Structure 1
């Protein structure tokens, strides 16, 4: 098994993550860190404390979520390749063992794990993680797409493992793609007959307390990319799922007496929605312009 970790200024967390991977019940055949020319001591820490880890360095301007991962995937050697983000810490020593277990079914192309909130997560972020990453594992096939829509494709490269043969069969991640590379390849897997597994027992600690501006920017990019890939996603809408998440989270916050947090989360969702809509409109406008040339 290969483990790949893209990094940028990860000095505060990379030693802890690499040390956690070395304590796993399954020892990775290789760990590859691909660093986007960090300004901090990320590279120095990897070289000094983890000389057995393969370190690749790219220019920061050359990074994109699909192309960079594809580049490193093709340099790796494992039949199963696990991607982790620099801020995703395995909850226990069984993470790798549990994320590869579903591959015993030869039809499984992709397995992604459960994300649990950090101790400092805002109440709304904690509930959103609970909504998105349930305690029950699930298996998805092409037959689920019509019923579940975009939820059938909701994989995450925060912690996800791929079968090499399946990955190469569908062509790998696109290059460039700014976000949701995991969702787009998941859709291709399902449409070509492969199976995806959400493995709730493979757990990492990972969450963010984003500002309103950060939420707008993230959802803008998602709106652009999902619109550009609407064909492979079957024109599934992201906003409908967002409304369901909003309703669930607001109810839970009010149930917990988090009145001010509920008000903040409502504003947060406005920024998410407006960012998404602007991204969708800009992508459609760019497509029309390109078609008219």
Structure 2
């Protein structure tokens, strides 16, 4: 123990700072302390009355088991949906039967059935053409809401500049495994804390796929969602480029299920990470710093990704190699010392976040606290490094099965023909 403290004390300050920053943990310390300073985390007990008409769209593929609880939570809202539209995107389970039964019971207004899977974007776009509410709320079929969530989301659209808004998200199956416990802590840090401070400076980059609200007229005028993958990020950046404001509403809570094992989690994050790189840099050129007319909030959201995500991730193997060369046999001891430092910071972050956002912690959440720096800074970051590398070298997102292959091929062929013309 004393040896690790000595190593930290004798380490070059710049190396120590980079050692801490590269593993993500202090990023949330800055967010939490900034929120405490601004007071932006305080939850309002006053729920906006609101008279907005909200059309809820639930696209689902083999989501029959979660559809019932999702619909039930919509009927517990203080601001009831104007209509609920379910899109069965070629499911092979009981999704269609569950949706049709809900329609027969008067709980769902419309059920759209695709004979074969067309993808999430196509499902939402199809439903949007039939929707008649002023606002569209897109919801995953495993998402459930606190009773005031829709009212709080709809309230921010009283500002005519707002083009989209997303809610705060917690993990509904936190107690299922250590992996879901880790995700519960991660969501509290990265979504609840991270997006709250980004909202303060108008730098929200991505509307959540699990639960997001849009203006219907703007959505239709823009042609809806891109075919994907990464359609939520793409549409969010598109709105920003058009001058719209993107909001995060921290006191509008929803819960969604997270992957219960490490392999499924890595697959989910690999898709997210590849999509983020492709959309940001290939579609929107965000690595190009020559944006003379760019608004400051747009610059901030780009720099947040580049400085706190891209650079630390791509630097990780070089950092580890440098530490081994610098410390030799003491490299493991130095990294252990860094881990203990990160653990102390992480525990402080978690305690502050649980208090600020009034969230309870379960058994798996407590266990997650001890290994969260490894999960966040090593496990996920190594996965992200390989995802970024595969996207840079092989453009792997082009082969993502989240979008049906026939849809992806048709889109790619159309783009090639358009470029040729």
TM-score normalised to structure 2 length? 0.58
- Asked whether 1:18 is paired with 2:71, we answer yes
Deviation by residue 1:81-111 (Cα, 9 ceiling, x = unmatched): 0001011110x22111111000111111101
**Cα shift at 1:240:** 4.6
Correspondent of 1:134 among 189, 192, 196: 192
RMSD: 3.6
Deviation by residue 1:13-32 (Cα, 9 ceiling, x = unmatched): 21111111112122212101
Contact 2:390 2:396 in 1 (8 A): no
SS of residue paired to 1:33:
strand
Contact 1:223 1:277 in 2 (8 A): no
Contact 2:170 2:254 in 1 (8 A): yes
CA distance in structure 2 between the partners assigned to 1:10 and 1:284 by the alignment:
26
**Cα shift at 1:277:** 2.2
Matches within 5 A, 1:98-113: 98-113=152-167
SS of residue paired to 1:62:
coil
Deviation by residue 1:255-293 (Cα, 9 ceiling, x = unmatched): 867445654553343223312321232229989xx7x99
SS of residue paired to 1:134:
helix
- Asked whether 1:154 is paired with 2:228, we answer no
**Cα shift at 1:210:** 5.1
The residue aligned with 1:5 is 58
**Cα shift at 1:40:** 2.4
Q: Which has the higher strand share?
A: 1
**Cα shift at 1:249:** 8.6
CA distance in structure 1 between the partners assigned to 2:117 and 2:142 by the alignment:
21
- Asked whether 1:32 is paired with 2:82, we answer no
The residue aligned with 1:232 is 284
SS of residue paired to 2:130:
coil
Contact 2:149 2:252 in 1 (8 A): yes
Matches within 5 A, 1:126-275: 126-134=184-192, 137=196, 152-174=204-226, 176-178=227-229, 180-209=230-259, 211-229=261-279, 230=281, 231-232=283-284, 234-235=286-287, 236=302, 238=305, 240-242=307-309, 251-252=345-346, 258-260=369-371, 262-263=373-374, 266-275=378-387
Contact 2:205 2:237 in 1 (8 A): yes
**Cα shift at 1:177:** 0.9
Q: Which has the higher helix share?
A: 2
- Asked whether 1:76 is paired with 2:131, we answer yes
The residue aligned with 1:117 is 171
Worse-superposed segment, 245-254 or 263-272: 245-254
Deviation by residue 1:186-225 (Cα, 9 ceiling, x = unmatched): 1111111111110111110124135443344334434543
CA distance in structure 2 between the partners assigned to 1:268 and 1:284 by the alignment:
18
CA distance in structure 2 between the partners assigned to 1:133 and 1:139 by the alignment:
10
CA distance in structure 1 between the partners assigned to 2:260 and 2:390 by the alignment:
19
Q: How many residues align?
A: 280
The residue aligned with 1:86 is 141
CA distance in structure 1 between the partners assigned to 2:155 and 2:397 by the alignment:
44
TM-score normalised to structure 1 length? 0.80
- Rg (Cα) greater in structure: 2
User: Which stretches in structure 2 are left out of the alignment for 5+ residues?
Assistant: 1-53, 288-301, 317-338, 351-365, 399-411
**Cα shift at 1:170:** 3.2
The residue aligned with 2:117 is 61
